[in-house]
Amino acid sequence: MDIFKNNNNIIFKEEIKKKELPNHIAIIMDGNGRWAKKRFLPRTAGHREGVKRVMDTVEECGNLGIKYLTLYAFSTENWSRPKDEIDYLMKLLVEFLRKKLQKIHNNNVRINILGDISRLDKNIVEEIEYAIDLTKNNTKLELNIALNYGGRDEILRASKLLYEDIKNNRVSINDINEEEFKKYLYTGNQPDPDILIRTSGEKRLSNFLNYQIAYTEFFFIDENWPEFYPDKLHRVIYDFQNRNRRFGGI
């Protein structure tokens, strides 16, 4: 059975290289808590295991030649979790940046943050700003980390920024169309996601990239995030390449 599975994985990885790859993959990394609960471990153990899949996914996207990867790390709604869990998540983020930044940088990956990080502790903001600055000229893969991110918050923020620009005569309201408006989002000039993956079997958006995913292909995976090994990513890309995107046409 395992041999069969492995063979399939190799096939998927080889097959996807033959066709056009998606430009931008976005992931709602869900199910860390349930992964831990199943193993009678604390939720924090699930988050820690989840960070390993983050690194695997970043590396595999780089290897495949994906240009943009957006990972949902912490939502504007996640502040409603117990303080201990929030603190642990922030601790993991700092640990991730300290331990993996050099490797990420060596892999020519650029780190961007989507979300309002001003609410985070000063030391965390400093770590993040250092990572953004260090990697700012990297060109292989753009890694967007959505942190204190909410899709509605992003649209509201964009509207306010646009209002300021109109008020100060930096832009004319007549020149604002969908493409111009998008530049005010955290994702700026980046292309919209081609693929949205959500792990753990939940089938909802949870306030992620509301504006950008108008024509994104959705993939709901039953496995929890700590089980999302690169073979799952290959399978999603393979399925994506065999879908028929019409964008309203025929």
Catalytic (active site) residue 78: yes
Token code pair at residue 40: 């009678």
When asked if residue 142 is in the footprint of Mg ion (CB under 5 A), the reply is no
Of the two residues 133 and 202, which places its CB atom closer to ligand IPE in the complex? Answer: 202
Beta bridge partners of 188: none
**Rg, C-alpha atoms of the chain:** 19
* Interface positions, 210-249, toward ligand IPE (CB under 6 A): 225
Among 27, 28, 30, 216, binds Mg ion (CB under 5 A): 30
Read off the tokens for 88. 């642990």
From the CB of 231, what's the least distance to ligand IPE, in Å?
A: 21
Task: Measure the CA–CA gap between 112 and 124, rounded to whole angstroms.
Answer: 15
Question: Which of 57, 112, 187, 200 lies at the binding interface for ligand IPE (CB under 6 A)?
Answer: 200
The structure tokens 């990394």 sit at: 29
Pairwise CA distance, residues 40 & 57, whole Å: 26
What does the block give as tokens for 172? 């004319």
Size of the site for Mg ion (CB under 5 A): 1
| Residue ranges of the binding site for Mg(2+) | 30, 217
| Cα 22-150-50 angle, rounded to 5 deg | 65
Binding residue for ligand IPE, selected from 30, 49, 127, 194, defined by CB under 6 A: 30
What does 78 bind: ligand IPE, Mg ion, none (CB cut-off 5 to 8 Å by kind)? ligand IPE
Among 13, 34, 48, 234, binds ligand IPE (CB under 6 A): 34
- Per CB under 6 A, which of residues 74..113 are in contact with ligand IPE? 74-75, 78, 89
Q: Maximum distance among all alpha carbons in the chain?
A: 66
Rounded (5°) CA angle 140-118-200: 60
List the single partner that 62 binds among Mg ion, ligand IPE, none, CB under 5 to 8 Å by kind.
none
In the chain, % helix, strand, coil (3-state, to 5) comes to: 50, 15, 35
Q: Binding marks (x or -) toward ligand IPE, 173..192, rule CB under 6 A?
A: --------------------
CB 114 within 8 A of CB 145: yes
Nearer to ligand IPE by C-beta: 13 or 232? 232
Residue placing its CB nearer to Mg ion in the complex, 30 or 127: 30
Cα distances from 121 to residues 19, 149, 222, in angstroms, run 44, 16, 34
Interface with ligand IPE (CB under 6 A), residue from 25, 28, 143, 195: 28
Interacting residues toward ligand IPE by CB under 6 A:
28-34, 72-75, 78, 89, 200, 202, 204, 206, 225
Active site positions, annotated: 30, 78
